[in-house]
């Protein structure tokens, strides 16, 4: 919905001041996203895929940009392999390279470490932390992995059945729910142990 | 409305590059593009040669008859392969689950459509041009020798092919791969109604008005006019092109409406069956 792929049934979404339902093309070049549920063409090599997306996003010096991303994301040895032949972890890194190809000001990540082994998942989280700090990029992360959210996020929005139930920093959520980690906060929200004002009810 | 100034040749080029990479990566794809038009042309060509000889037709009449049939087969291939070149390029995005990547990129729908048109032309050049050369070698029929008439036939056919491709792509976006067979089969309705191998007059009177709504009918009637009467009926071509324009606008509107409908229904992330 934030990228304009789905229209909201009511209300509106504005990114960089533009309504995403009608004006999305003014801002899509300043955003990007990564999701394990969206693939890149399998028969194209990693380099070919990245070159196509670099051109779609109007990246100048695409060869240099691809080389830098490949270096950063440890993709150099896979650049000339078909994307479909990569493992889940390698595909995630390629998808991240695609998501970063235009140096987005707003990066949307949908379960970026889903189905990754713990080592690769940790590597991806560390990379995202560094990227956010170095590029001052806003990251909007959707995840059910509360340890990941706790590590990466300054602000947490909790949704339950499509409704917003909380919006605070991790520290504020711990204090309100009298918990020491987001996993427990999540369970409290999911199981109805906190009410609308985040008071503990049981 | 399409803002022409906002259309980017770079993004169109990116999509053409993507499809070119795909074609280059798969020789069976390229072989398949030549294979069917060649088989079709050879089958009909040899059948026509046999029938003409068996009936003892005068050489000049035989040449005209052969030209009419082989010319019709080649123009039919331009129509069918033009549409399939458009639709199959679009389907590649759905098969590879890449459609969401594209729709969430700066690529505009109009740019996507132009790239699909370009690919339709490239696939035609790869698949049908060699077959037109084979027709010269095997049956002495030179489609290119029709000159301006061929150019007129081509324009009317390819615009109609794009219209059908656009409509099919819109349906695929809205209803997913369950509608995939339309990409293969929809154009075949033109074979009986577009009067490819026989004149409109051969059909029942009640069916003829339907035939005249289809731009290909004007092309195939025009082809027979050129080969048999040696006259290019420009009125037929202009009428065909006018109907083409209306159908293309209708298809573009339908595509935009189906895309908007898919956004409202939230089906763009669930493009499988």
pLDDT score of B2:
54
Query: Contacts of residue B100 in chain A, CB cutoff 8 Å?
Result: 5, 35, 38
pLDDT at B29 over 80: yes
More confident residue, A182 or B60: A182
Quote the number of domains for chain A. 1
- Please give, rounded to a whole number of angstroms, the shortest distance from the CA of B242 to a CA of chain A: 32
Determine the average pLDDT of the residues in B103-112: 94
What are the structure tokens assigned to A105, written together?
A: 């000001």
Where residue A50 sits, what CATH number does that domain have?
3.40.50.300
Task: Name the phi and psi angles at A82, rounded to 5.
Answer: -60, 140
pLDDT value, residue B203: 93
* DSSP per position, B31-56: HHHHHHHHHHHHHHHHHHHHHHHHTT
* A163-168 vs A156-160, strand pairing mode: antiparallel
d(CA B67, CA B185): 27
- Decide: residue B181, CB within 10 A, 0-12 exposed, 13-18 middle, 19+ buried: exposed
Chain B positions touching A35 (Cβ under 8 A) are 100
Note whether A48 contacts B10, CB cutoff 8 Å. no
A7/B263 Cβ within 8 A = yes
Predicted local distance difference test score (pLDDT) of residue A99: 94
Contacts of residue B59, Cβ cutoff 8 Å, sequence gap at least 6: none
Residue B87 predicted with pLDDT over 60: yes
Query: CA-to-CA distance for A64 and A61, rounded, in angstroms?
Result: 5
Question: Which residues span the domain enclosing A21?
Answer: 14-153
Q: Residues B168, B256: contact at Cβ < 8 Å?
A: no
Given CB atoms, is B61 within the 8 Å cutoff of chain A? no
Looking at CA atoms only, how far is residue B26 from chain A in angstroms?
A: 9
Residues 6+ apart with CB under 8 A from A145: A111, A113
pLDDT digits (tens, 9 = 90+) for B198-254: 999 999 999 999 999 999 999 999 999 999 888 899 999 999 999 999 999 999 999
pLDDT at B3 over 70: no
Of A38, A48, A52, the CB nearest to B97: A38
Nearest CA to CA, how far is A153 from chain B (Å)?
Answer: 24
In a domain, A3, yes or no: no
Could you give the C-alpha distances from B109 to B99, B103, B247, in angstroms and in order?
11, 8, 18
Any A CB within 8 A of B94 CB: no
- Whether A54 maps to a domain, the answer reads yes
A130 found inside a domain: yes
Answer whether B63 touches A (CB < 8 Å): no
What does the pLDDT read at residue A118?
Answer: 87
B46 or A162: whose pLDDT is higher?
B46
B25 touches chain A (CB under 8 A): yes
In chain B, residues with a C-beta closer than 8 Å to the C-beta of A39 are 96-98, 101
At B59 the pLDDT is 63
Q: What is the mean pLDDT of chain A?
A: 88
What pLDDT does residue A202 have? 47
Report pLDDT for A199.
58
pLDDT at residue B1, as a whole number: 47
Q: Which of A21, A53, A55, A84 to mutate to test the interface with B (most CBs of B within 10 A)?
A: A55
């Amino acid at each position: 919905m934030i990228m304009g792929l789905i229209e909201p049934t009511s209300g509106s979404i504005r990114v960089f001041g533009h309504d995403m339902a009608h004006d999305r093309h003014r801002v899509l070049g300043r955003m990007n996203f990564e999701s394990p549920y969206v693939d890149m063409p399998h028969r194209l090599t990693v380099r070919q895929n990245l070159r196509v997306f670099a051109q779609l996003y109007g990246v100048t010096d695409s060869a240099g940009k691809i080389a830098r991303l490949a270096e950063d994301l440890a993709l150099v040895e896979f650049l000339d392999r078909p994307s479909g032949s990569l493992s889940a972890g390698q595909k995630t890194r390629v998808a991240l390279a695609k998501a970063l190809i235009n140096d987005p000001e707003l990066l949307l990540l949908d379960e970026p470490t889903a189905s990754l082994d713990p080592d690769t998942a940790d590597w991806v989280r560390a990379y995202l932390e560094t990227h956010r700090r170095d590029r001052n990029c806003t990251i909007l992360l959707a995840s059910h992995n509360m340890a990941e959210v706790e590590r990466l996020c300054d602000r947490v929005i909790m949704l339950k059945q499509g409704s917003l139930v909380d919006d605070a920093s991790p520290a504020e959520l711990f204090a309100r729910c009298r918990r020491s980690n987001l996993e427990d906060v999540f369970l409290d929200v999911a199981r109805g142990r906190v009410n609308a004002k985040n008071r503990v009810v049981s | 409305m399409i803002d022409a100034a906002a259309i980017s040749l770079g993004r169109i080029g990116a999509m053409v590059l993507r499809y070119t990479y795909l074609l280059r990566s798969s020789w069976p794809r390229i072989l398949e593009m030549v294979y069917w038009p060649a088989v079709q042309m050879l089958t009909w060509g040899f059948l026509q040669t046999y029938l003409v000889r068996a009936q003892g037709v005068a050489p000049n009449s035989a040449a005209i008859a052969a030209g009419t049939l082989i010319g019709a087969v080649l123009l039919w291939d331009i129509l069918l392969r033009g549409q399939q070149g458009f639709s199959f390029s679009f389907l590649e995005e759905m098969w590879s689950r890449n459609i969401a990547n594209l729709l969430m990129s700066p690529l505009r729908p109009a740019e996507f459509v132009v790239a699909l048109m370009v690919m339709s032309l490239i696939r035609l050049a790869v698949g049908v041009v060699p077959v037109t050369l084979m027709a010269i070698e095997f049956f002495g029929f030179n489609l290119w020798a029709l000159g301006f008439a061929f150019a007129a036939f081509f324009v009317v056919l390819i615009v109609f092919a794009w219209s059908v491709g656009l409509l099919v792509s819109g349906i695929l976006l809205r209803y997913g791969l369950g509608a995939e067979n339309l990409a293969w089969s929809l154009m075949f309705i033109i074979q009986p109604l577009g009067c490819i191998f026989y004149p409109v007059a051969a059909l029942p009177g009640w069916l003829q008005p339907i035939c005249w709504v289809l731009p290909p009918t004007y092309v195939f009637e025009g082809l027979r006019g050129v080969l048999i009467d040696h006259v290019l009926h420009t009125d037929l071509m202009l009428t065909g092109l006018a109907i083409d324009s209306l159908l293309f606008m209708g298809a573009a509107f339908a595509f935009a409406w189906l895309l908007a409908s898919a956004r409202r229904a939230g089906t763009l992330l669930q493009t499988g069956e």
